[in-house]
Amino acid sequence: MVKGFHIELTNICTLKCAGCARTQFIDMFSKNWVNHSLNISDLMNFLDIDLTNLEILLCGHYGDPIYHPDFHNILSQLKSRGARTKIITNGSYKNHDWWDKTVSLLDSQDTVQFSVDGLPKNFTTYRVNADWESIEIGMKVVGESICNSQWSYIPFNYNENNIEEARELCKRLGIKQFIVKKSDRWDKYTDHLKPNNNEIGQRYHNQQQWKKTTTISGIDPECSRGRDHFITADGHYTPCCYSADFRFYYQTPFGKNKQKYSIKDNTISSVLEDNTTIDFYNSLENYKVCQFNCPKLENN
């Protein structure tokens, strides 16, 4: 079942967010890091199905999509095949002309979401190396365009009392929707930023229980909805971005047999017809990546 894709166009990013897999990988294995950006021809050939009205999420697990060297070409080709796109970005270091070109390729079915956690005076506490001046340019251009626009805001201890002020700034910049997104990424890298006002995602508590007992009451796998088929920046298929994370990747068939899932040598149709892929989807509860990242929550 294919209802959408999550595509990591590139693992390049200008930021060093403490909770990001990229930051943590480089911290642990700096000599092994290699920058990758998807080959456009490989990507388009891999997507051998009708993309009409399918949502393509352009969001990094390791990188930020806007730093792909041929971003506009990819966006144009996806739109020419009828896809709806959602771009999730911090938005730093792109100028007015770049954003003008971006919104010219989008329509009312597309969305640009800016991930900015705080106000101009403090958001770089987490979004290290981000640049407010260029983000503001992007927000204004996107806000004036026909596409949907969102500001995503994660509460931390340094910004949890600035939410309403940020919401007002969001309105002034023309961004249509302000989203407060409770994080569940709390570990030794981010615990010092944990908010005080219970602004923590429920999944975090389930994950802590799993770490202690490795038991779960069940899973609610996001991949079962058919929207999260993930393509890595180095051109490989996995069922979701969680299964592509370096902490789990090589515990799955997709990491163990990486070349078997290269988008250069396959199509999405052939991958989903593969017996190993089918077996994985039929036994999700047996995999640690699914137990940890998709626990069944109380309200599910």
CA 87 to chain centre: 9
pLDDT digits (tens, 9 = 90+) for 103-148: 999 999 999 999 999 999 999 999 999 999 999 999 999 999 999 9
pLDDT digits (tens, 9 = 90+) for 26-81: 999 999 999 999 999 999 999 999 999 999 999 999 999 999 999 999 999 999 99
| Angle at 133 (CA atoms; ends 129, 134), nearest 5 degrees | 80
Residue 299 has pLDDT above 60, yes or no: no
Helix residue spans in the chain (DSSP H) = 21-29, 40-46, 71-80, 96-104, 132-143, 163-173, 202-213, 253-256, 268-273, 275-282, 288-293
The pLDDT-based confidence of 247 (bands split at 50, 70, 90) is: very high
Pick the closest to residue 262 from 290, 234, 227 (CA basis): 234
pLDDT score of 300: 46
> Is there a domain that residue 163 lies in?
yes
pLDDT score of 56: 97
Amino acid, res. 125: T
Contacts for 104 with CB less than 8 Å, ≥ 6 apart = none
> Is there a domain that residue 95 lies in?
yes
Q: Contact, 25 vs 16, CB < 8 A?
A: no
Residue 207 has pLDDT above 90, yes or no: no
When divided into structural domains, the chain yields a total of 1
Contacts for 199 with CB less than 8 Å, ≥ 6 apart = 155, 160, 180, 182
Q: What is the largest CA-CA distance in the chain?
A: 53
Q: Give just the sign of the alpha carbon dihedral 116, 117, 123, 127.
A: negative
Tokens of 45: 């050939």
> Is there a domain that residue 217 lies in?
no
> Is there a domain that residue 147 lies in?
yes
Pick the closest to residue 217 from 151, 291, 113, 115 (CA basis): 291
What are the CA-CA distances from residue 287 to residues 40, 91, 211 (Å)? 32, 35, 14
Distance CA 16, CA 22 (A): 8
> Is there a domain that residue 215 lies in?
no
Residue 54: burial class (beta carbons within 10 Å; 0-12, 13-18, 19+): buried
pLDDT score of 298: 63
pLDDT digits (tens, 9 = 90+) for 249-272: 999 999 999 999 999 999 999 999
Domain that residue 29 falls in: 4-202+222-285
Q: What is the CATH number of the domain that holds 193?
A: 3.20.20.70
pLDDT score of 34: 97
**Phi and psi at residue 166, to the nearest 5°:** -65, -35
What is the number of residues in the chain?
300
Distance CA 168, CA 30 (A): 40
pLDDT digits (tens, 9 = 90+) for 77-89: 999 999 999 999 9
Distance CA 108, CA 236 (A): 30
> Is there a domain that residue 210 lies in?
no
Pick the closest to residue 243 from 58, 8, 15 (CA basis): 8
> Is there a domain that residue 213 lies in?
no
pLDDT score of 201: 74
Distance CA 267, CA 232 (A): 14
Residue written as token pair 């896809």 = 83
> Is there a domain that residue 292 lies in?
no
**Phi and psi at residue 162, to the nearest 5°:** -110, 10
pLDDT score of 216: 67
pLDDT digits (tens, 9 = 90+) for 147-200: 999 999 999 999 999 999 999 999 999 999 999 999 988 999 999 999 987 777
Mean per-residue pLDDT, 226-248: 95
Question: What is the pTM (predicted TM-score) of this model?
Answer: 0.95
